[in-house]
Structure formats: C-alpha cells, structure tokens
Amino acid sequence: MRDTKSRMQNARKVESAVAELGSMFGKMASLVRAQGETLTRIEDDTEMSLLEVRAGNDEINKTREITKGNRGLIVKTFAILIGLVTFFKLF
C-alpha cells in the first residue's frame, strides 16, 4: 500500500512537471511568435528606408546636375557682387 502511494505521488509530481513544461513551451511559442512579428516589422521598415534613401540619392543627383550647368553663372554672379561691394567700399 505504501509503495502504491509513493508511486502515485511520484506520478503526480511527473504530471505536474509535464504540465509546467507544457506551460513553459506555450510561453516560449508566444515569445517566438512575437519576435517573428518584430523581425517582420524591422524588415519592412528597413526596406522602406532603403527606398527612401534611394529616392533621396536620386534627388541629390538631379540637384547636382542642375547646379553643375549653372556653376559658371553662379561664379560670375558672385564675382560681380564682390566687385560691386568693393567698388562701393572704395568710393
């Protein structure tokens, strides 16, 4: 009889441990799922950032091309301004 009670207690302990492990695995599964969602959001944000950086780079290149053609005009304008300032300072 004592042996039967001892086995029954051991079986209950094992059952309790298995239930606890099941609970732990359930929590772990929810954490892994949450991390998967987080990684998906990070990946989406990274892809959007890449698109924005490429668009910004294209805009910078367009602006550089526009100003490259006007450099001579810009230099002449500043030279005239400096000449005028110098002329008015001297006279």
pLDDT tens-digit profile, the chain (91 residues) = 778 888 899 999 999 999 999 999 999 999 999 999 999 999 999 999 999 999 999 999 998 888 777 778 888 899 999 999 998 888 7
DSSP for 11-74, written as a single string = HHHHHHHHHHHHHHHHHHHHHHHHHHHHHHHHHHHHHHHHHHHHHHHHHHHHHHHHHHHTHHHH
CA 23/CA 19 separation, integer angstroms: 6
pTM: 0.53
CA 79/CA 91 separation, integer angstroms: 18
Domain ranges of the chain: 2-90
